[in-house]
Amino acid sequence: MKMIDAHIHLDRYTDKEIDLILEGTGSIEALLSVSFDLESCKRNLQLSRKYQKIKPLFGLHPEQILPTEVEFSRLIEWMGQHQEEMIAIGEVGLPYYLKEDQKVSRLQYGQYIDHLETFVEMAKKWDKPIVLHAVYDDAPIVCDLLEKHSVTKAHFHWFKGDEKTISRMIEAGYFISVTPEIVYKEKIQKLVQTYPLGKMMIETDGPWPFEGPFLGKMTHPDMMKHSIYMIAKIKNLAEEEVSERLLENTKTFYAI
């Protein structure tokens, strides 16, 4: 089975771990490495220049303290200078977990929304897909921004949300990606049951660690084989068919 990891933070692995991943990925056609901040963008660009399988995405992860205006401007300027080398904008979105922990004020949350809108505008201007960290209550706000700017090539990674939002996303044609968590989390299994296979990808979000059968193991793209097995089981399809369709979905969406 050929696979593409549609969302991994390779810059957060050590050089030795990256070598181990690439040495043992005969079944992996590509690794889409998302960025956390400007330094992360630069690291992913370097990795993509060194390894053909690594495809870089540039952005600003929302689950962190707001950058200063100068820092944000530098990131946007750098992304503009390197837009031809990135396959998408990501990872961007809204700080749901920081907000839940009461680490984000209402004023600050508005600034996060403003930053996200800048990225949505860039996606439209540059005709790039956008990869989103947008779960639960944040997802409808993100959908509003996408609709406002007529951005349709949107990828909600590791999505979690209510049925109304899921229906809205399906109608809009947005993509989701599924992590190995599907093996042991019922809510992800229910999402996969509802969401069209034609709008689905797989990912690891590595080096984020997983539980269940993956407890204590370094997150590796090979874990996605278990995701394919579960998706096939839920959709009542052959694993080979599911694998091929997920691969084609990702290639088409990201033009790789």
Indicate the angle between helix axes 38-50 and 69-81, nearest 10 degrees.
Answer: 20
Q: Which of 233, 136, 116, 158 is nearest to 8 (CA)?
A: 158
Domain span at 155: 3-254
Report the pLDDT value the prediction gives residue 1, as an integer from 0 to 100: 84
Decide: 83 and 128 in contact? Cβ < 8 Å: yes
Q: Which two tokens stand for residue 112?
A: 């996060």
Domain count within the chain? 1
Tokens 């508005």 locate to 110
Strand partners, 4: 30
Percent of the chain with pLDDT over 70: 99
Q: pLDDT by residue for the chain (256 residues), tens digit each?
A: 899 999 999 999 999 999 989 986 678 999 999 999 999 999 999 999 999 999 999 999 999 999 999 999 999 999 999 999 999 999 999 999 999 999 999 999 999 999 999 999 999 999 999 999 999 999 999 999 999 999 999 999 999 999 999 999 999 999 999 999 999 999 999 999 999 999 999 999 999 999 999 999 999 999 999 999 999 999 999 999 999 999 999 999 999 9
Integer Cα distance of 7 and 20 in angstroms: 18
pTM summary value = 0.96
Radius of gyration of the chain (CA): 17
Neighbours of 179 (CB within 10 A): 24
C-alpha distances in Å from residue 196, one per residue of 132, 171, 219? 19, 10, 26
Output the domain CATH number for residue 71: 3.20.20.140
Indicate the angle between helix axes 138-148 and 106-126, nearest 10 degrees.
Answer: 40
